[in-house]
Amino acid sequence: MAETNETRYRVGGMDCAACASKIDAAVRRVAGVADVSVSVMAGTMTVRHDGSSDLKAIEKRVTGLGYSVSPFAGSAAPAQDHGAHDHRHHDHGDHDHDGHDHAGHDHDHGEKEIEGLHGHDHGPMTGPWWQSRKGRLTILSGAALIAAYAVGHLIPAIGSYAFIVAMLIGLVPIARRAVMAAFSGTPFSIEMLMAIAAVGAVIINAGEEAATVVFLFLVGELLEGVAAGKARESIQSLTSLVPKSALLEDNGQMREVPAESLAVGAIIMVRPGDRISADGIIVSGESAIDEAPVTGESTPVRKGVDAVVFAGTVNGDAVLRVRVTAAAADNTIARVVKLVEEAQESKAPTERFIDRFSRYYTPGVVVVAALVAVVPPLFLAGAWDEWIYKGLAILLIGCPCALVISTPAAIAASLSAGARRGLLMKGGAVLESLGKVTMVAFDKTGTLTEGKPQVTDIVAFGLSEAQILSRAAVLEQGSSHPLALAILKRAKADGVPMPPAFELKALPGKGVSGKVGGETLDLLSSSAARERGALDGDKDARITVLNDEGKSVSVLLVNGAAAGLIAMRDEPREDAEAGLSALKSAGIKAMMLTGDNKRTAAAVAGMLGIDWRGEMMPEDKQRVVGELKRQGFVVAKVGDGINDAPALAAADIGIAMGGGTDVALETADAAVLHGRVGDVARMIALSQRTTRNILENITIALGLKAVFLVTTIAGITGLWPAILADTGATVLVTINALRLLRVKG
DSSP β-bridge partners for residue 10: 44, 70
Bridge-based pairing of strands 635-639 and 653-657 is parallel
Q: From the candidates 24, 86, 279, 443, give the one annotated as an active-site residue.
A: 443
Q: Is 619 exposed, middle or buried (0-12, 13-18, 19+ CB in 10 A)?
A: exposed
Is 640 noted as a catalytic residue in this protein?
Answer: no
Q: How many CB atoms lie within 10 A of CB 524?
A: 22
CA distances from 347 to 11, 112, 427, 430, 720 (A): 18, 32, 7, 10, 33
**Taken in order 148, 150, 152, 155, is the CA torsion positive or negative?**
negative
Calpha distance 143→276 (Å, rounded): 50
Calpha distance 673→116 (Å, rounded): 43
* Spatial CB neighbours of 205, under 8 Å, sequence gap ≥ 6: 160, 385
The secondary structure of 389-451, three-state, reads HHHHHHHHHCCCHHHHHHHHHHHHHHHHHHHHCCEEECCHHHHHHHCCCCEEEEEHHHHHECC
Three-class secondary structure of residue 690 per DSSP:
helix
Calpha distance 432→429 (Å, rounded): 5
Is-contact 604 613, C-beta < 8 A? Answer: no
Is-contact 475 510, C-beta < 8 A? Answer: no
* Spatial CB neighbours of 128, under 8 Å, sequence gap ≥ 6: 135
The DSSP string of 604-631 is: HHHHHT-EEE-S--HHHHHHHHHHHHHT
Q: How far is CA 215 from the centre of its chain?
A: 36
Calpha distance 364→379 (Å, rounded): 21
Is-contact 663 446, C-beta < 8 A? Answer: no
Any idea which residues carry the catalytic annotation? 443
